[in-house]
Amino acid sequence: MRPYDGVIFDLDGTLVENMEIHQEAFQEFLRRHGLPPLDAALRLRIDGKRNRDIFPIVFGRDLPIEELEGYSHEKESLYRSLSRGKLEPLPGLVRLLSRLRAHGIPVAIATSSPEDNVPHTLREIGLLETFPHVVRSDTVPRGKPHPDVFLAAAEKLGALPARCLAFEDAPLGVKAARAAGMTCVAVTTSFAAEDFTEHGAAPDAAVANFEEYLEGPGRWLA
């Protein structure tokens, strides 16, 4: 009997190792606005959050919606420009998706990425048609680390959260998946395995990529 009825993936840093490009875009955004550069402490506070929750932290004040939307458009336009032609799926992802299809297990994306970035990133890695179910954090009441986006993704799959497997690359995302009651595997593209446990987001397993998952915790898909 298969152990899961659905598999839910975060997007940035999980399907694709693109967080360095996001950081490059964010550093340029911060420079333009005379703000301190991004450091490890700030990353732990914001990685995995949606933009409406990130920019008030960065600017240290509440922001009106028009200002939030302007900052989001500016930063994400930088990301799309910098990432064009440079993205590839994480090693093992295509093989994992093929094995899930063979087992009849549906997949979804649960992401804090804003609307324009999702098709851009999926198109760049050649998987635009692979994910019919995408839930963004800006379409649910609360963003990560709350479980809302994962619960909504499970509902789209018609699966109980406890019967879902989630993949995440950030501690806040792992907290969200675990709060939804899902098994969660951390992908260590953005944070070291020990960072998750240190910050109260212990995953069920941690892997460098999906090849490692298939050779280890994912052997059930053989």
Which 3 state secondary structure label does DSSP give 56?
A: helix
> What's the CATH number where 209 sits?
3.40.50.1000
Please give the residue range of the domain that contains residue 68: 19-83
> What's the CATH number where 60 sits?
1.10.150.240
17-55 pLDDT, tens digit each: 999 999 999 999 999 999 999 898 999 899 989 999 999
Residue 74: count other Cβ atoms within 10 Å of its Cβ.
Answer: 14
Average pLDDT of the residues in 175-183: 98
Residue 1: inside a domain: no
Q: Is the pLDDT of residue 152 over 70?
A: yes
Which are the contacts of 90, defined by CB distance < 8 A and separation ≥ 6?
Answer: 14, 15, 16, 17, 187, 189, 209, 210
Q: In this structure, what are the phi and psi dihedrals at residue 184, rounded to the nearest 5 degrees?
A: -135, 130
Active site residues: 10, 12
Task: Check whether residue 11 and residue 66 sit in a common domain.
Answer: no
Residue 168: inside a domain: yes
Task: Check whether residue 98 and residue 196 sit in a common domain.
Answer: yes
Say what the pLDDT of residue 50 is: 94
